[in-house]
Structure formats: structure tokens, C-alpha cells
């Protein structure tokens, strides 16, 4: 019996993806930091959908966290055919507002953990008749965003990595999809420490985690390379490509400075 493994599964988009997959009767492995929240989500999914669930409470930003997740799966004979790299966060404001450890911690979670988990689980995924990798990037991946400079860069990395791997595996049994949500009604804005302008801008185009998850899971099973959620976010990505970069960057800076 194969499972879907989801990081950042205790709340927000990760929890909504877990719910979407559970509704399709897919058994789940849930990864996040809070054991209490994981226990609650796990119980709800089993009760509401009758699926098998197991969870591991771990801080994925720790250097050896990805290996610990893999070892936990191996020790429990958990085989996976869906890997959802969803855990991540942002830090808003000037680059030098944060310490080096704070910035590196975010990069570890947003970039290195998805790469490490993909590297570790890919041999197993390739043995499945059909397997999927779903990576959560951001609409910020399509442009430089002063005030979210490092976060946007980390999500651009994840988008490019996902698209490249999608092509590498095109004729194999593993499909790679990258979903790029815009503003979503999650705790992202709290941890990112968005200012009043950023909060106001986000509130005007917010999507629900459930809406994002539905789009993401559908795109994954359709084996799409990438999907941007929401008409406004798609338009924003197009305008970022069409308009002069400096104009787009200065406009963004007014929101996040």
C-alpha cells in the first residue's frame, strides 16, 4: 500500500492538500512541527474519509531533517507514490533586517528540503507504476520582489528545479508539478511579518487553502509542469514578463517596504 507524503501538513495549503487527497481515498503520511496539530488533523482525516494516516512531528529546517523523514518511512515500511513538498515560509522587509541564521533557515526549508526529499525518495517513486511530485512555490517566483527578495528567489529556484525535473522524467513513471499560489488565507502573512500595505494587498486577492489545493491536486494528476492559482495571479505573472522589470520591482517595493 502506497502513501502520499505531505510536508507542512498541519495547516494551511498542506492540510487542504491532505484533505483533497483523503477525499480520493489516498492514505497519508503527514509531516509538520506540531505533534498536537498533526494528531488532530490525522484523526479528522481518518474519521471523515476512512484513510490510513501516520504522522511525524519534526522541524524540517534542521540540517538532517529530510534524512530523518526518509529513515522514519523506511523503518515503518511506508512506501510512497506521491511526494508533496509544501512546507515553507517567507520573511518580509529589508534583506539585512534578519540575521544570517534566520535567512539561511528559510532557504533551508524552502529550497534544500524539497531537493533532499526528492533525491531520497525518487528511486522509490520510480519503482511505482505511476508516481507524482508536487512542489509548492509562489506567484513571487515569477519576479524579483524587493521586501521579499530572498523568499521570491527561493521560490524561483523551486519553480525552475521542478520544471527541469519534469522534463528529465517526462518519459518515466514520475510526474513533477509545481503550483504557484498567490495570497492565500493562511498563517504566511503572520510569520512573514507583512506590514499594513502588504496585508491590505493580500486581503484583496486572498484565495482559500481549499481552492488552492483543489487546483494543485488536479494539475498534479493531469501531469502538468506548473500551475498558477487564480486569474489575478496569472495576470500578475504575465505582466511581470511583459512590463519593464524595474517598473514591476518598484511597484512591488511600495507594497513590501
pLDDT confidence of residue 248: 58
pLDDT confidence of residue 198: 43
pLDDT digits (tens, 9 = 90+) for 83-105: 999 999 999 999 999 999 999 99
Could you give the CA distance from residue 63 to residue 247 in angstroms, rounded to a whole number?
38
**Number of domains the chain contains:** 1
> What confidence tier does 32 reach under pLDDT thresholds 50, 70, 90?
very high
CA distances 238 to 4, 55, 232, Å, are 32, 39, 10
Task: Enumerate the active-site residues.
Answer: 151
Domain range enclosing 202: 2-256
Find the distance separating the first CA and the last CA of the chain, reported in whole Å. 49
CB of 48 within 8 A of CB of 86? no
CATH number of the domain to which 137 belongs: 3.40.50.720
Could you give the CA distance from residue 21 to residue 5 in angstroms, rounded to a whole number?
11
Which DSSP symbol is given to 184? Answer: B
Among candidate residues 218, 239, 231, the one with its CA nearest the CA of residue 175? 218
Which DSSP symbol is given to 142? Answer: G
Share above pLDDT 70 across residues of the chain, in percent, rounded to a whole number? 82
CB of 129 within 8 A of CB of 143? no
Among candidate residues 151, 160, 242, 246, the one with its CA nearest the CA of residue 198? 151
> What confidence tier does 197 reach under pLDDT thresholds 50, 70, 90?
very low
* Alpha-carbon radius of gyration of the chain: 18
Mean pLDDT of the region 61-72: 96
Amino acid at each position: 500500500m502506497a502513501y502520499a507524503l505531505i510536508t507542512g501538513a498541519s495547516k494551511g495549503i498542506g492540510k487542504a492538500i491532505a484533505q483533497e487527497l483523503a477525499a480520493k481515498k489516498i492514505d497519508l503520511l503527514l509531516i509538520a512541527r506540531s505533534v498536537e496539530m498533526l494528531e488532530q488533523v490525522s484523526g479528522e482525516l481518518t474519521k471523515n474519509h476512512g484513510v490510513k494516516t501516520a504522522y511525524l512531528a519534526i522541524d524540517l529546517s534542521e540540517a538532517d531533517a529530510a534524512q530523518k523523514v526518509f529513515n522514519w518511512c523506511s523503518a515503518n515500511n511506508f512506501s510512497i507514490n506521491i511526494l508533496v513538498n509544501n512546507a515553507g515560509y517567507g520573511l518580509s522587509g529589508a534583506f539585512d533586517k534578519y540575521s544570517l541564521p534566520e535567512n539561511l533557515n528559510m532557504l533551508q526549508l524552502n529550497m534544500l528540503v524539497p531537493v533532499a526529499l526528492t533525491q531520497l525518495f525518487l528511486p522509490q517513486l520510480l519503482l511505482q507504476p505511476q508516481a507524482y511530485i508536487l512542489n509548492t512555490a509562489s506567484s513571487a517566483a515569477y519576479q524579483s520582489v524587493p521586501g521579499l527578495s530572498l523568499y521570491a528567489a527561493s521560490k524561483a529556484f523551486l519553480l525552475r528545479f521542478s520544471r527541469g525535473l519534469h522534463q528529465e522524467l517526462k518519459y518515466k513513471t514520475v510526474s513533477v508539478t509545481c503550483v504557484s499560489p498567490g495570497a492565500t488565507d493562511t498563517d504566511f502573512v503572520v510569520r512573514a511579518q507583512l506590514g499594513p500595505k502588504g496585508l491590505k494587498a493580500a486581503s484583496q486577492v486572498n484565495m482559500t487553502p481549499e481552492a488552492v489545493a483543489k487546483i494543485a491536486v488536479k494539475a498534479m494528476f493531469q501531469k502538468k509542469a506548473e500551475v498558477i492559482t487564480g486569474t489575478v495571479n496569472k495576470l500578475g505573472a504575465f505582466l511581470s514578463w511583459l512590463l519593464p522589470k524595474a517598473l514591476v520591482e518598484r511597484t512591488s517595493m511600495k507594497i513590501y517596504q
